[in-house]
């Protein structure tokens, strides 16, 4: 006795198509796994296309973060930064929720020493010949390999260094480039405190920029031993509220997670994102972990790109103007 599909080929085709349809409907689609909406080849090309691709990748990360919070929380207040090594042990640390998932649309280069002192920068080539290039560096600690390499990679960048714990930049600054550096023993804070009884004097970033006559900073480096939370909250909130772009193109930041809960850190980090900051590189400070025997990696270096406005890293500069009768 022959089976129905052996006697009727059309019936066989119908069954195969029906099964394929069922498998298609039951299989997890791209949205479930946060796949990108378009294939890679559709993004290749100019700077706007690369930026669009980077935004799509980061949007996927935001969905993944919410899923991870729900899995291990389900609420932020339920999550600890570094779960104890007891069963059942959740396989995560706080840093897993905040990967540097934004794609730098240019080359990524480490400037400065390999180890403590060096920073990862996106597109230093964009500043090579920028005439009004400005760099602010908070936290010198008498180690200036980062600043020295910026001088070496650029023609006109002026570097403003601030650190009340030392009296000058480190010895790495070459003497023939010292005229492009400016040091002050000031601290960065969320409020100005520089009266006769204030030692050390503290300034907001806004006050220092006004003092120096600057409206924009290309590279901003901050390493202020835990004060980044208060300082950046004060700095960023007006820009978040107004929607105006931040006055800097990139931020290199060492984050000190001491005594901060996951819920607090998440809210602070989401403020950075709302202001337009996107992390493109990170590395934990393992030297601190080993030498201080803390047991948990509380410190991490992050590099952020400001994706709002028209800074040199996210927008191509306009072509040079030409004289109507020929080159100017």
Q: Where residue 44 falls among pLDDT bands split at 50, 70, 90? A: low
Q: Where residue 42 falls among pLDDT bands split at 50, 70, 90? A: low
Whether 69 has a pLDDT exceeding 70, the answer reads: yes
pTM here is 0.84
Q: Where residue 296 falls among pLDDT bands split at 50, 70, 90? A: confident
Neighbours of 68 (CB within 10 A): 14
Full set of structural domains in the chain with CATH: 105-306 (3.40.50.150)
Q: What is the 3-state secondary structure (H, E, C) of the chain?
A: CCCHHHHCHHHHHHHHHHHHHHHHHHCCCHHHHCCCCCCHHHCCCCHHHHHHHHHHHHHHHHHHHHHHHHHHCCCHHHCCCCCCCCCCCCCCCHHHHCCCCCCCCCCEEEECCCCCCCEEEECHHHHCCCCCCEEEEECCCCCCHHHHHHHHHCCCCEEEEECCCCCCCCCCCCHHHHHHEEEECCEECCCCECCCCCCCCEECHHHHHHHHCCCCEEEEEECCCCCHHHHHHHHHHHHHHHCCCCCEEEEEEEEECCCCCHHHHHHHHHHHHHCCEEEEEEEECHHHHHHHCCCCCCEEEEEEEECCCCCCCCCCCCCCCCECCECC
**What's the pLDDT at 196?**
85
* pLDDT > 70 in the chain, percent: 84
Whether 88 has a pLDDT exceeding 60, the answer reads: yes
């Amino acid at each position: 006795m022959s089976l129905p599909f052996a006697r009727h080929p059309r019936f066989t085709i119908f069954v195969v198509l029906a099964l394929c349809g069922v498998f298609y409907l039951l299989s997890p689609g791209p949205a479930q796994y946060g796949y990108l909406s378009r294939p890679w080849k559709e993004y290749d090309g100019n700077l706007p296309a690369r930026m669009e691709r980077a935004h799509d990748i980061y949007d996927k990360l935001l969905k993944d973060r919410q899923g991870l919070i729900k899995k291990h929380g389900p609420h932020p207040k339920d999550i600890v930064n570094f779960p104890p090594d007891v069963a059942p042990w959740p396989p995560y640390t706080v840093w897993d929720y905040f990967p540097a998932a934004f794609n730098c649309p240019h080359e990524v280069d480490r400037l400065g020493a390999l180890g403590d002192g060096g920073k990862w920068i996106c597109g230093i080539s964009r500043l090579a010949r920028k005439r009004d290039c400005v760099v602010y560096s908070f936290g010198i600690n008498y180690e200036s390999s980062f600043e020295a390499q910026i001088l070496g990679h650029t023609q006109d960048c002026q570097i403003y260094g601030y650190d009340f714990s030392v009296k000058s930049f480190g010895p790495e600054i070459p003497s023939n480039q010292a005229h492009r550096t400016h040091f002050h023993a000031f601290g960065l804070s969320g409020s100005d405190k520089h009266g006769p009884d204030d030692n050390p004097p503290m300034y907001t970033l806004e006050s220092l920029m006004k003092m120096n006559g600057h409206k924009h900073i290309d590279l901003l480096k901050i390493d202020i031993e835990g004060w980044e939370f208060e300082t950046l909250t004060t700095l960023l909130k007006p820009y978040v509220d107004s929607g105006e772009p931040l006055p800097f193109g990139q931020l290199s930041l060492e984050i000190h997670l001491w005594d901060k809960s996951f819920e607090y850190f998440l809210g602070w980090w989401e403020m950075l994102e709302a202001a337009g900051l996107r992390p493109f590189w990170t590395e934990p400070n393992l030297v601190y972990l080993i030498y201080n025997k803390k047991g948990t990696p509380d410190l991490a270096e992050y590099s952020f790109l400001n994706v709002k406005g028209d800074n040199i890293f996210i927008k191509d500069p306009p072509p040079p103007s030409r004289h109507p009768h020929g080159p100017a």
